[in-house]
Structure 1
């Protein structure tokens, strides 16, 4: 049913409804656990063996659940060589072999999605009475059908987390007319079958309602995974540079940046552009640099280490992300941790703009037109040290209110699940 202006707001949660749970000693985890305290997290990727926002998010969810005393199994595909890695707060359960998830254009491959979903169904069907709850990613959408069917009648609670929710046109643009229309129809069916949905923006909540969700979704307070250890905000590097960090795929629109920086250089002549990462759109980005004669002021360091990225973020005049779609926008948080303001672009699929307080931690450009992006770049650079201080202050406040831990506590409160009993160890014996 389409959302209307009178629709009730999506449910959110706060610390007043959270429950503190005693931590279980990791050495004893598993053998002493009952079904009431065993939770599965299902996603086909796991950080750091694969990199990306979803990988980081679901790993953090598993870590927090384990830290709260739950016995956690992470159901994923093999992404490593040799033996299955051992983690402190959860067990990795590889349910399928290596998967080639993306094609050359950066689009999710349907055979890989179906393979993982089939393996997820088989695993959950075998272990259907083992889990008190299963948290599954709603992307790829086949996961929802696999988990729902496997758990029917088991008494296991199912939570579907929607990183993004697309309308029909987005699916068609991403996958073509036929495949995209089928994917959109499957998404609607999956949403209708979802017993408890979580998402991470009001944009996604609105789309879930519009696409047929039968109960109000839970909108998480945020996805910050602990404090980032960085130095206090400092003046931007000289000469100044604009930083892009991420993959080069069509939806990110990285190729719009050279013309925008060229326009900004009319008033900031020593401004540079640093573009990290790579991907299917890299050739288009380099061609855009050549069109504006930007070879001398553009750097392409490729994918860089976390330490190198932190250094780049700390010195950047701004982080710029012209993406047309984001389910949350963790990049805003990461940049603001360094006191670096962010430039985003308004778009109907870009939920990350919900994180921007104009003039406090960044600016939202109305479009990717060079003159408008250039104006946004100039605005944040002219904000100087004052803007860098307020961006860091925004981050410090977000650390108290927008964390993965708060998100997990909200899910646990919504289910709810029994508090796992602490396991007595030798250290606890008088």
Structure 2
């Protein structure tokens, strides 16, 4: 098949969960013999190229700052969307399938080009935002436009991929009427449960430092937990528009180096807040605990529950991973995507 992936980010030039999914998906499809084109923003030196083998990476718009004032830049999204629309008008007829994430202006560009080029459309619904969240994220006029754009996208004809049951339900609530394919894991091939290592009194956060990830909530939560476990430390891995605010908060916390924020690394969630879809992977008391909110007291108490559970929780987490490894694998998710392509 001839497949076009549309996303304004490209791993490793930008780093995040969606970036890793699209890069891994592209490589897996190419490895299976499919022809893959990846439309994105320019994020590399033109002299050296994107550095991505086995696929055609096309920059449909020039460099742009992805974030402005801690939020996704509307200007950058519009420029990218216009480039996507122009490309698909000119070349869309060569693709069997176009796949792109929701909540991006570029999805509307893809929808505008489809009646002319008639490719099948697959949309990754990583999240479905509520009206209140749109208004809080973008403000009055822009927030309402975002909310209506999401509703229009949901009701347009396409194949929907969701990464949690929570957002699948929300997608149906705003008007999607097709079959939803659930993708539960992105675990790369060859990942095995790690050998047990000595426990360290360290809380780990890994994720993009944007307001909705609430990394800053960890600092006061750790401060409260340290009142009962003084040896407790925290390491916050990630980067993003909230990094400066996080570093200021750490400096002002008076924790004397107990909280560090060195950069990016992969990790597994063991404590999460209930509005995050990742809680579907947490079996309370088996492979982690769910904090009732991101308030310092609630989050601090959840951290202390992990500490109190000790080696038994670590062992049950490793056992849970072994039992669920196939369900959560990248291979399983890619096979489900290929089945969706086959329904076009």
Q: TM-score, normalised by structure 1?
A: 0.74
Please name the residue that 1:249 is paired with.
Answer: 210
Distance 1:99 1:290 in 2: 31
**Does 2:313 match 1:399?**
no
Alignment match of 2:141 (pick from 172, 178, 195): 178
Is this contact kept in 1: 2:184–2:333, CA < 8 A?
Answer: yes
1:256 aligns to what SS in structure 2? helix
Shift, 1:359, TM fit: 1.4
Distance 1:94 1:285 in 2: 32
Please name the residue that 1:343 is paired with.
Answer: 271
Evaluate the alpha carbon distance shift between residue 73 and residue 382 of structure 1 in structure 2; reply closer, same or farther with a 3 A threshold. same
Is this contact kept in 1: 2:193–2:322, CA < 8 A?
Answer: no
1:95 aligns to what SS in structure 2? strand
Shift, 1:269, TM fit: 1.7
Evaluate the alpha carbon distance shift between residue 277 and residue 222 of structure 1 in structure 2; reply closer, same or farther with a 3 A threshold. closer
Alignment match of 1:192 (pick from 155, 158, 161): 155
Alignment match of 2:29 (pick from 46, 55, 65): 65
Distance 2:122 2:225 in 1: 46
Please name the residue that 2:79 is paired with.
Answer: 115
Is this contact kept in 1: 2:16–2:208, CA < 8 A?
Answer: no
Shift, 1:253, TM fit: 2.1
**Does 2:298 match 1:372?**
yes
1:295 aligns to what SS in structure 2? coil
Distance 2:232 2:11 in 1: 34
Distance 1:93 1:229 in 2: 35
Please name the residue that 1:211 is paired with.
Answer: 174
Please name the residue that 2:234 is paired with.
Answer: 273
Please name the residue that 1:19 is paired with.
Answer: none
Segment of structure 1 superposing worse, 359-368 or 89-98: 89-98
Alignment match of 1:357 (pick from 283, 290, 293): 283
Shift, 1:417, TM fit: 6.8
Shift, 1:175, TM fit: 0.7
Question: Based on CA coordinates, which of the two structures has the bigger radius of gyration?
Answer: 1
Is this contact kept in 2: 1:275–1:298, CA < 8 A?
Answer: yes
Please name the residue that 1:85 is paired with.
Answer: 50
Alignment match of 2:164 (pick from 186, 201, 218): 201
Number of positions where the alignment pairs a residue of Structure 1 with one of Structure 2: 343
Distance 1:370 1:114 in 2: 38
| Equivalences for residues 381-400 of structure 1 within 5 A | 381-400=307-326
| Equivalences for residues 245-324 of structure 1 within 5 A | 245-286=206-247, 288-289=249-250, 293-301=254-262, 303-304=263-264, 309=265
1:85 aligns to what SS in structure 2? coil
Alignment match of 1:164 (pick from 121, 127, 131): 127
Is this contact kept in 1: 2:193–2:321, CA < 8 A?
Answer: no
Shift, 1:127, TM fit: 1.3
Please name the residue that 1:28 is paired with.
Answer: none
1:354 aligns to what SS in structure 2? helix
Evaluate the alpha carbon distance shift between residue 94 and residue 229 of structure 1 in structure 2; reply closer, same or farther with a 3 A threshold. farther
Evaluate the alpha carbon distance shift between residue 214 and residue 153 of structure 1 in structure 2; reply closer, same or farther with a 3 A threshold. farther
Shift, 1:283, TM fit: 5.0
Shift, 1:243, TM fit: 1.8
Shift, 1:149, TM fit: 2.2
Distance 2:245 2:43 in 1: 30
Please name the residue that 1:30 is paired with.
Answer: none
Please name the residue that 1:98 is paired with.
Answer: 63
2:106 aligns to what SS in structure 1? helix
Distance 1:155 1:292 in 2: 56
Evaluate the alpha carbon distance shift between residue 99 and residue 229 of structure 1 in structure 2; reply closer, same or farther with a 3 A threshold. farther
**Does 2:116 match 1:145?**
no
Distance 1:405 1:269 in 2: 43
Is this contact kept in 1: 2:67–2:241, CA < 8 A?
Answer: no
Structure 1 gap segments, 5+ residues each: 1-36, 311-333, 336-340, 419-430
Evaluate the alpha carbon distance shift between residue 221 and residue 292 of structure 1 in structure 2; reply closer, same or farther with a 3 A threshold. closer
Distance 2:18 2:168 in 1: 18
C-alpha RMSD of the superposition: 2.2
Note the alpha carbon deviations across 1:202-246, whole angstroms, 9 max, x for none: 111111111111213222132223344774121212xx1212233
Is this contact kept in 1: 2:42–2:59, CA < 8 A?
Answer: yes
